[in-house]
Chains A and B, each alone.
Chain A
Amino acid sequence: MQKLSDVKSGSSGQVLSVNGRTDFQRRITAVGITPGCRFQVVQNEKKYPVLLNVRSTLLAVDRGDCEEIMVEVAEND
């Protein structure tokens, strides 16, 4: 288990839980990030939002917010 903000570019996996403020949870749910969904980190550069693919959508999510999203990275990727 690790934070989404720590996942390397190119890795993919599954979201385990979404924490943080309620309004953040509502927003992030509406764009498709929910526990159980699969994701692929497309680009993760320091000082930039995390770019990831979720449900065939390219999303940019604030780094700080990504610390609230716990994920499991698939081993053989």
Chain B
Amino acid sequence: MTDTMTIALLGQPNSGKSTFFNALTGSHQHVGNWPGKTVERNAGTFKAGNKIYTVIDLPGTYSLAANSEEEIVTRDAIVSGDADLVCILADASQLERSLFMLADYAGIRVPVVLLLNMMDVAQAQGKTIDAEAIEKNLGIPVLPFVASDKNGYDVFYTLLERKDMQNWILDDTKLAAMYRKELGEQYERLGRLFPADGIDEYTSSWLIAKLAELDPAIEKLVETTVSPENYSIIRKELEAIENGSSHTGNCKFRWIDSILEGNVSQSNKKAALGKFDRLALSKRGGKWLAAGIILAGLIISMVLASPIMYLGGELPILADPISRWFLDMGAKPILVSLLCDCVWTSFCFTIMMCGFVFGTTFVFGFLEEIGYMARISYVFDGTMRKLGLHGKAVMPFLVSFGCNIAGATGVRVLDTWGQRMAAIAMSWVVPCGSTWAVVGLISSVFFGPGAALVVFLLFAVSVLHLRLTAGIFGKKLLTEGDRTGLIMELPPYHKPRWGSLFKWSLNKMWQAFQRAIRVVLVTYLILWVFSYTVDGNFSGSLLYRIGNYIEPVTMLFGLRWQTFIAWITSMFGKEGSLGAMAAIFTNSSVLHAITHMSVEAADNSVIAIALQAALTKPEALAYIFAFYFNMPCVMTMSATAHETRSLKWTLRVAGYYILMSLVLAFIVYHISSLFF
């Protein structure tokens, strides 16, 4: 008898799987990635009786078909032999549809139990479900369950103590008979071509159904198992199949009906939209309501971010006493500068950025969890379709208004790699919170009330930019298979679980921090080397000399050497740009200023005067455009590379944005020079 056991949780989205996972494992969780995949892997442990259990939270998918990376990961994890028991969660309030996962599972010979989750919701809807009768029909344990109520978990723990787990194999004889009837002679012919006992954990009828669904991964599995002659016959058989998924899907639901028949009583209430949904989904008001809620959400996310940003902004103050202390101890000034200006500053800066990540992740996580995000996706589906994407892709765009780093991680809801990469590439044009801080200041310094016009112009050009980006990258990234339309469940509204939402957002922030700190350190090190001077005067630095030397070239784009350097630093972090400019104009340490700037708002008037003295209006406009359309920070870049697993495409997109920002600066500078 072993004292450890591994349980894999399987269920459709909105089946309450994560609630169950969080309740089971509490704080003993480990978030990572599936080896070689961009799919998140959540695992955790818990103790019950005298056993330690490992729980793997499989990705929430609607089936075990090979439509997406998530589904392939899920299937591989089940048959890999890692899991001793699979635990399928079904939503009792939508039992018929929810059991599709179980039907798709039937034929995989790994022990399984079924949890009928959200029994309380089903009861409130007036449904009664006879779990015992369902258990008898299925031949595996079936538990009526409420995952959000921890008091009821004992039945689950007791179940795990049972000794007959090896027998909990879901019998697929009845389903196989349905496949045979539906597919006719073809079923028999296919069945004769490979082992009657199936392959690995799959029964032969499961394999036939998946072949009929033209599942590429299963075709490959069969190809490597059977003889080449048999495989070529199988291929020919498959070519004759039409609408295979419809046929097998039909069987699966008939099988579900046969399991549920007489065991579920429904109330005959006609489905209609609730009061809120009538507005949230309406043609007239839906978009406006969504825009209002998103705006409010962004404001709230900034409020949530502010304590962390304050911390990151205040910590640099410690740099002075620390460096003085080191100098008093006799440390070399260059090392002290490296430590305080570079290492410490990048640490503080990363903390500041993480505030944004936390705030936006929390707010949009909230909208997702209560079920409103799906409504937003519905109303903006048309807009997204113009970009070659669909409604679910709206998330990264919205989140990017707060923070592009968090935006890049919002693409996981999309099905294919091409969609994810394209959505991120396009969402980079969305200006984040800190972009506005800089644009607002500079445009109001130079144009007063005309700043509104500048903002309008920026928006108009953004739309054109987005169209162009969609054209260029959409063509390359969105192949025929990536251009899928929206198929989305609009879940009933849920109450948020604040605790787990908070923990989840902190976790995301921590992940972002770990990734970002390395990138920021390296880039700051480069910036430090170029801007280091012995006496702290900027005019002695390499950056100053290079900047002056290449000014004739940068002036083509309307960028003076100061604004050119500010433009370069905006790649390290958008609000850093303002600090860099302040430092250059006040002739002090650039790096130090980058983090100080956002705190010492009083300096804004100093910058304002210095800016007006140094730049003409066309030059200011050129800078605003170059800055606004420049790629988002390096942290967004690293998040993008991480999410898409493609450094090549990330760099391509970055190069494109850098180039475009200079092109736009060039155009704006030369046109506006005619007027001012």
Which positions in A face B, CB cutoff 8 Å?
17-19, 22-32, 34-37, 40, 42-43, 45, 47-49, 51, 53-65
Contacts and interface: CB of A to CB of B under 8 A. Distances in A.
Which one of A25, A45, A47 has the highest number of Cβ atoms from chain B below 10 Å of its Cβ? Answer: A25
B381 A48 contact: yes
B243 A56 contact: no
A51 B65 CA distance: 24
Contact of A48 (B104, B246, B248, B382): B382
B62 A27 contact: yes
B486 A22 contact: no
A22 B485 contact: no
A37 B248 CA distance: 14
A56 B489 contact: no
Given A18-B243, A29-B63, 14 more contacts: A18-B245, A19-B243, A26-B67, A35-B246, A35-B250, A47-B382, A49-B378, A49-B486, A51-B490, A55-B97, A55-B253, A60-B374, A60-B377, A62-B484
Contacts of A53: 271
A58 B244 contact: no
A37 B266 CA distance: 16
Interface in B100-147: 100, 104
B93 interface: yes
Going nearest first, the 5 A-B pairs with the smallest beta carbon separation are A62-B485, A29-B249, A30-B63, A30-B62, A25-B245
B246 A56 contact: no
24 contacts: A17-B246, A22-B214, A22-B245, A25-B244, A25-B249, A26-B67, A27-B67, A30-B61, A30-B63, A31-B62, A32-B96, A32-B100, A32-B253, A49-B378, A51-B281, A51-B378, A56-B97, A57-B489, A58-B489, A60-B377, A60-B381, A60-B391, A60-B490, A61-B486
B1 to A, nearest CB: 38
B495 interface: no
Nearest to B491: A58
B484 A42 contact: no
The main secondary structure of chain A at its interface with chain B is mixed
A18 B246 contact: yes
Given A22-B213, A22-B245, A25-B243, A31 B489 contact: yes
A45 B283 contact: yes
Contacts of A37: 253
B481 interface: yes
A46 B209 CA distance: 37
Contact of A40 (B213, B271, B486): B271
A30 B103 CA distance: 10
B183 to A, nearest CB: 14
B106 to A, nearest CB: 15
Contacts of B490: 51, 58-60
B240 interface: no
Contacts of B271: 40, 42, 53, 56, 58
A35 to B, nearest CB: 6
A39 to B, nearest CB: 10
A60 B486 contact: yes
A34 B103 CA distance: 14
B65 A26 contact: yes
B293 interface: no
Contacts of A63: 485
B601 interface: no
A28 B486 CA distance: 10
Contacts of B63: 26, 29-30
A42 B215 CA distance: 33
B265 interface: no
Contact of A55 (B94, B272, B283): B94
B485 A56 contact: no
